[in-house]
Chain A
Amino acid sequence: MTNDPTRPLLAVRDLGVSFTRKGAPDVRAVDGVSFDVSPGQTVGLVGESGSGKSVTSLAVMGLLPRRNVRVDGRVIFDDDDLLTLPRERMRDIRGRDMAMVFQDPMTSLNPVVPIGVQVTEVIERHQQLSGDAADKAAAELLDRVGIPDPTRRLREYPHQLSGGMRQRALIAMALACRPRLLIADEPTTALDVTIQAQILELLKELVHDSGAALIMITHDLGVVAGLCDTVHVMYSGRVVEGAQRRELFARPRHPYTGGLLASVPRLDAARGTPLHPIPGSPTDVLAWPSGCAFAPRCHHRVDACTDGPPPLENIGGRSLRCVNPLPTTEEVPA
């Protein structure tokens, strides 16, 4: 891949999101999240529910509600700090330069408006096309994302399309303005595996053809393994480990990353291969201020883990938030 690593397209620095509620202490859903996305690069954000991965993406897109939410840190896109931009500018950027695809294609589409109207609306707004030209562009777009018979499909309503087709339509809408950054939040989680494979292949192809960067948000390590250049693993609102994909999968240093890899059953593992679950559950924890939030579930825990919040350190191109990482010699063979 031909990236220019010297100047990232998107630089997230020390991003934090707090949800404030009257009469209750603030909930720090995201804290100290930093990562770069170079032009054309595909970056994975991996985490379980409550890890803050979706909130991070919404913060980057400026889609968090203003009420009861506090966002801090910096999100630099093209020399602009998106967090300080006025709403109007942000809305311009979001449609034109950045777009998002959500998990549930049904709720992301308006159920009472034909697909065609929804797609052409995006085109009209961002490409200054209208009427027949916009219709034609919409049909081309659907065709490009692999929807057969696009002119007929444009007249149909969302419920007449299958889940996979709806997700394709959403991807088409996201790509309508040729964004330079696409954020996909669990785009295949609601879909069957065979359909997931189609959508992932489509995303890979589209990103490759258009040169757009992609942030892939998922809970599935398998999805990022085949797709992403860099992967950041999140736990309880923080990035705990981030590295080049091959590095991360071959030599996980954070016990959480290692634990996840050892706990998922693999299709290619011989039957009888034991699974090593991570004990406890991810919702027990919100305790970063007093130490590593993963410590209660960690088999590699030492006393220092609960002395205070571990910093995010950068070791040889890998970011790691752990005071007692797994040794480098411990390899996960393929």
Chain B
Amino acid sequence: MSLSQVEAATESDQVEQPVGNLRQAAWRRLRRDPVAITGFVLIAMFIVVAVLAPLIAPYDPRDTPGAGTITPTNIPGPSAEHWFGLDEQGRDELSRVIYGARQSLLVGVVAMLLGMAGGMVLGVLAGAFGRWVDSVVMRIVDIMLSIPGLLMAIAIAAVLGRSLTSVMIAIAAVNVPIFARLLRGQMMSQRESDYVLAARSLGVRRRSIVLSHVLPNSMSPVIVQATLTLATAIIEAAALSFLGLGGADPAVPEWGRMLASTQRYLASAPHLALFPGLAIMVAALGFTLIGERLREALDPKYRR
């Protein structure tokens, strides 16, 4: 408590105030934050690799340059020719990891966007109208939240059949209630704020209050959540394809499926588990680092 007083004292002694709005100030803080920069670099690498996969990958991921040399007990590890070694069918592991980034990024981004969109619709409905609309929407959300995420994703993917689209929809569905609840909570607390009361007292129309005050001021945690969701979506996509619910064409490299198919060779060729696993970790870590730091940068409580 004495500390907060010191901070209060220094705060009021501060003459230089950041110019511009909260988002710009948050951006400035992020740019100077080593952890956030690490996250940015990891994500940039991930995106560059995904987008430029055909240019970077040394081999076609479907080619089997090592087909002749492969036996179940002898899968060559990293070498000068194949940096990440060969997989169980004699394909270049590095190229497959590189192409796998495309699938992961695609699934992650689309699933996150779908989940956020769905969650925001529900959240805005509940947060803007309140009363019985809120009760109905939130009960639906509660039910969705009560089903374990992976179980729901498996169920959806199983119903919709094996395809990348169903993976995306399944992961999105898991995230819908999370976004809905987050946004609704934020909007509820913003609705109680003085400036919303002020807007009401000015005679601003309700729709306008929701759209120009309540919603924009409720978005910060949603943006943070979206970043973190990208990380979990990548992991969930891997998990689903690990369980055999990924895309229909087994030749298209997916990190999760790559992990799954290495199970039998774990003893003889541990590199087959290591590289896709690392790829999943690094991509998820990048988004998590950014998300956590963004949360702090956007939250006035963490300001220094």
**A residues with CB within 8 A of B:** 19, 27, 29, 49-50, 52, 54-55, 58, 63-65, 69, 102, 104, 107-108, 185, 237, 283-286
Interface residues of B in 148-203 (CB under 8 A from A): none
Is the Cβ of A108 less than 8 Å from the Cβ of B6? no
Interface 1/0 per residue, B1-44 and A, CB below 8 Å = 11111101110111100000000000000000000000000000
Q: How far is the CA of A322 from the CA of B236 in the complex (A)?
A: 70
- In the complex formed, the residue of B with least CB distance to A48 is B12
Chain B nearest CB, measured from A229 CB (Å): 25
| Contact (Cβ within 8 A) B9 A52 | yes
Find chain A residues with CB under 8 A from B1 CB: 102, 104, 107-108
Are B3 and A27 interface neighbours, CB within 8 A?
Answer: no
The residues of A that contact B5 with a CB separation of less than 8 Å are 54-55, 58, 102, 185
Q: How far is the CA of A50 from the CA of B8 in the complex (A)?
A: 8
Query: Is the beta-carbon distance between A29 and B9 smaller than 8 angstroms?
Result: yes
Show 23 residue pairs from A and B whose CB-CB distance is below 8 angstroms, ordered by the A residue. A29-B9, A29-B10, A49-B8, A49-B12, A50-B12, A50-B13, A52-B9, A55-B5, A55-B6, A55-B9, A58-B5, A58-B6, A63-B2, A64-B6, A65-B6, A102-B1, A102-B5, A104-B1, A107-B4, A185-B5, A283-B13, A285-B15, A286-B15
Q: Which of A50, A107, A237 is the most central at the interface, judged by chain B CB atoms within 10 Å of its CB?
A: A50
Most buried by A among B1, B4, B13: B13
CB pair A27 B2 closer than 8 Å:
no
Tell me the complex Cα distance, A107–B5, Å: 11
**Main SS of the interface on chain B?**
helix
Is A58 within 8 A of B15, CB to CB?
no
CB contacts (< 8 Å) of A63 on chain B: these are 2
Shortest CB distance B191–A (Å): 26
Shortest CB-to-CB span from B114 to chain A, Å, is: 42
Report yes or no: A286 in contact with B13, Cβ–Cβ below 8 A. Answer: yes
Q: CB-CB < 8 A to B3: which residues of A?
A: 65
Residues of B within 8 A of A54 (CB): 5, 8-9
* Minimum C-beta distance from A60 to chain B (A): 12
User: Known: A63-B2, A108-B1. Contact between A19 and B10, CB under 8 A?
Assistant: yes
Question: A123 → chain B, closest Cβ, in Å?
Answer: 21
B2, B3, B9, B15 interface centre (most CB from chain A within 10 Å): B9
Residue of B nearest to A69 (CB): B6
With the chains together, A52 CA to B6 CA distance in Å? 10
CA distance A108 to B4 in the complex (A): 11
Taking beta carbons and an 8 Å cutoff, which residues of B are in contact with A?
1-6, 8-10, 12-15
**Which residues of B have CB within 8 Å of A104?**
1
Nearest residue, chain B, Cβ from A103: B5
Q: Which 5 A-B pairs have the closest CB atoms?
A: A50-B12, A63-B2, A55-B9, A19-B10, A49-B12
Q: Is A283 touching B15 in the complex (CB atoms < 8 A)? A: yes
B1 to chain A, nearest CB (A): 5
Does A27 contact B10, Cβ atoms closer than 8 Å?
Answer: yes
- A268: min CB distance to chain B, Å: 31
| Chain B positions within 8 Å of A102 at CB level | 1-2, 5
A residues near B2, Cβ cutoff 8 Å: 58, 63-64, 102
Residues of B within 8 A of A52 (CB): 9, 13
Contact A27 B14 (CB under 8 A): yes
Residues of B within 8 A of A64 (CB): 2, 6
Sample of 19 more A-B contacts, CB < 8 Å, known A52-B13, A283-B12:
A27-B13, A27-B14, A29-B13, A49-B12, A50-B9, A50-B12, A54-B9, A55-B5, A55-B9, A58-B5, A63-B2, A64-B6, A65-B6, A69-B6, A102-B2, A108-B1, A237-B13, A283-B15, A286-B15
Q: Which residues of the other chain, A, contact B13 by a CB distance below 8 angstroms?
A: 19, 27, 29, 50, 52, 237, 283, 286
Complex contacts, B10 vs chain A, CB 8 Å: 19, 27, 29
B266 to chain A, nearest CB (A): 48
Nearest CB in chain A: distance from B32 CB, A: 9
Give the chain A neighbours of B9 by CB distance below 8 A: 29, 50, 52, 54-55
Collect the chain A residues with CB atoms within 8 Å of residue B4's CB.
107
Looking at the assembled complex, report how far the CB atom of B19 sits from the nearest CB atom of chain A, in whole angstroms: 16
Q: Which residues of chain B are within 8 angstroms of A19 by Cβ–Cβ distance?
A: 6, 10, 13
Cβ of B33 to closest chain A Cβ, rounded Å: 13
In the bound assembly, the distance between CA atoms of A58 and B5 in angstroms comes to: 9
For the complex formed, measure the closest distance between the CB of A99 and the CB atoms of chain B, giving whole angstroms.
13
Smallest beta-carbon distance A272→chain B, Å: 30
- Among residues of B, the one whose C-beta sits closest to the C-beta of A282 is B12
Hey, which chain A residues are within 8 Å of B14, CB to CB?
Answer: 27
What A residues does B6 contact at CB under 8 A?
19, 55, 58, 64-65, 69
Shortest CB-to-CB span from A23 to chain B, Å, is 9
Distance in Å: Cβ of B255 to nearest Cβ of chain A: 40
Could you tell me the distance between the alpha carbons of A69 and B5 in the complex, rounded to whole angstroms? 13
- Report the bound CA distance from A108 to B1 in whole Å: 7
Residues on the B chain within 8 Å of A284, using CB: 15
When distances are taken between beta carbons in the complex, the residues of chain B under 8 Å from A107 are: 1, 4
A97 to B12, CA, bound (A): 31
